[in-house]
Structure 1
Amino acid sequence: MPVTDVITDAENLTMTVIADFAAPVERLWAAYSDPRQLERFWGPPGWPATFTAWDHTVGGRAIYTMRGPRGESSTGSWEFLSIDGPSGFEVIDTFADENGEPLKDFPAMRMVFTFSETEGGSRMVNTSYFESAEALEQVVEMGAVEGTRMAMAQIDAVLQDLRDYAEGKGVQVELLDDTHVRITRLVNGPRDLVWRAHHDPELLAKWMLGPDGWEMTECVPGTEVGASHRTSWAPVGDTEGEPFGFEGEVLQFDPPRRAVTTERMQGMPTETLNDLNLYEEDGATLITLLIEYPDKDTRDMILATGMADGMESSYARLEETVLAGTRS
């Protein structure tokens, strides 16, 4: 994880984030000066950012909105005070309405980003200056410290070539906290087709087959907000076991980038929140699935079923049956 320290200083009204990267300063600067790259790590998991305005000049403004899995949103605005690439930049950061206008009763802060070389790559020091102790306390109470740590944990995938970062590693499972798990898998194929493979019944039936000896008996993907989805499997021949399946509702649907759904085993009350995000680079697509469980015990119980191994088999089948031959 890149963040090495987060320091809050009530006396000097500052919060300082220190992070180290195995990448040169120029590469770090590129990530912070390109809104499409910033979008991949500025918001914490489950709250990805979209920059809707970007005037990267002194006096210019940037506007971004982070959208939560249940449709919540938080908009912010930067006013660039200085730009000195690749050494750093300075902005006034404010909470804003949907038009980018500052919100009253929410703190603004001056943020100074400094990038420097280190023996192993580069270091970022981000110091936020607040107008009052109350403003600093308000931001901390809103989860800024933990949110920053979780957001910055996503930047390694941005600074590295995507294939260098993830190819050949299979399904990767990260426990973010007691109730959140992030699962990633790189597949060789374009994002549009990977998206279709997750939402087209005919394509789903080719790769999401369930355990060996089982077949998919029902597939109703949800393809709009408010729609229901339902998928079922049953044993074939002499295979032992009882039919099972999952169902839920679509909360967000943003092709071909993001889909958020609820999911529960048919006939069971326990529900998870599944946040699917797709990112393409050089003909490969990184699948990121953020799962929110109701509690730690449920998380551990489901992971102990061999879920990750089953997902790896399915994603390998996705590459072999749906994506084969698509890489240019």
Structure 2
Amino acid sequence: MEKVKSQIEGKTLVVERSFNAPRALVFEAFSTPAHLEAWWGPAGWKTEVRTFEFEPGGTWHYKMTCVDKEQGDYYGMESWGKSTFLEIDPHRKIVYTDAFSDADGHVNPELPVMTITNEFVDIPNGTLFISRSEFTDAESLQQVVEMGAVEGFSSQLERLDAIVSR
């Protein structure tokens, strides 16, 4: 199984992973609320989509809840996110802003907002997924990395792989 590759380029975190699944299927997993609820978030977390308007200018507001008692202090914790879609090129690219928010969708000004570009590329036997998270400054990028973003994203891409490679 292909593991996640990640690197930092200036103020941008780049994460790549290949999937043994067609590009249209991998794209659909990122563009359909029911699919996102099945895999979004690290292992042991459940995602609930509040709003999902998959069009430029549309928003995606969601809640992740830790449902794994083994995760100690995280168990029962809620984490809210809010994204705004900027560009959608079906089966090729999704660009959106991503922010931490509260239950009402108010963005948390104390945590970084990033612009994410997800690309879906045909490769032999599947799809190469490339995600570029661009931050306003290197400190914000470091803050999110220290919060475990790479490990969390890797974990959720493993969950996605279990679904799309079936």
TM-score normalized with structure 2 length: 0.91
Structure exhibiting the larger radius of gyration computed from Cα positions: 1
Q: How do residues 287-326 of structure 1 correspond to structure 2 at under 5 angstroms? A: none
Q: Percent identity?
A: 33
Offset of residue 4 of structure 1: 3.1
Which SS does the other structure have where 2:132 is aligned? strand
Which SS does the other structure have where 2:45 is aligned? coil
Aligned to 1:107: 112
Amino acid of the residue matched to residue 20 of structure 2?
Answer: A
Query: Is it true that 1:49 corresponds to 2:65 in the alignment?
Result: no
Which SS does the other structure have where 1:40 is aligned? helix
Give, in whole Å, the separation in 2 of the partners of 1:154 and 1:147: 11
Give, in whole Å, the separation in 2 of the partners of 1:73 and 1:126: 24
Q: How do residues 128-143 of structure 1 correspond to structure 2 at under 5 angstroms? A: 128-143=133-148
Give, in whole Å, the separation in 1 of the partners of 2:3 and 2:111: 26
RMSD (CA atoms): 1.2
Point out which structure has higher relative CO (alpha carbons under 8 A, 6+ apart).
2
Say if 2:4 and 2:154, in contact at 8 Å, map to a contact too: no
Aligned to 2:8: 8
Query: Is it true that 1:77 corresponds to 2:77 in the alignment?
Result: no
Give, in whole Å, the separation in 2 of the partners of 1:18 and 1:84: 19
Which SS does the other structure have where 1:113 is aligned? strand
In structure 1, stretches of 5+ residues that fail to align are 166-328
Offset of residue 2 of structure 1: 4.5
Which SS does the other structure have where 2:156 is aligned? helix
Aligned to 1:147: 152
Amino acid of the residue matched to residue 79 of structure 2?
Answer: S
Give, in whole Å, the separation in 2 of the partners of 1:139 and 1:51: 22
Q: How do residues 157-168 of structure 1 correspond to structure 2 at under 5 angstroms? A: 157-160=162-165, 165=166
Amino acid of the residue matched to residue 17 of structure 1?
Answer: V
Aligned to 1:267: none
Give, in whole Å, the separation in 2 of the partners of 1:88 and 1:94: 19
Say if 1:31 and 1:158, in contact at 8 Å, map to a contact too: no
In structure 2, stretches of 5+ residues that fail to align are 68-74
> Post-superposition, which runs of at least 4 consecutive aligned residues in structure 1 deviate over 2 A?
1-4
Amino acid of the residue matched to residue 105 of structure 1?
Answer: E
Which SS does the other structure have where 2:139 is aligned? helix
Query: Is it true that 1:39 corresponds to 2:44 in the alignment?
Result: no
TM-score normalized with structure 1 length: 0.47
Aligned to 1:68: 66
Offset of residue 156 of structure 1: 2.2
Aligned length: 159
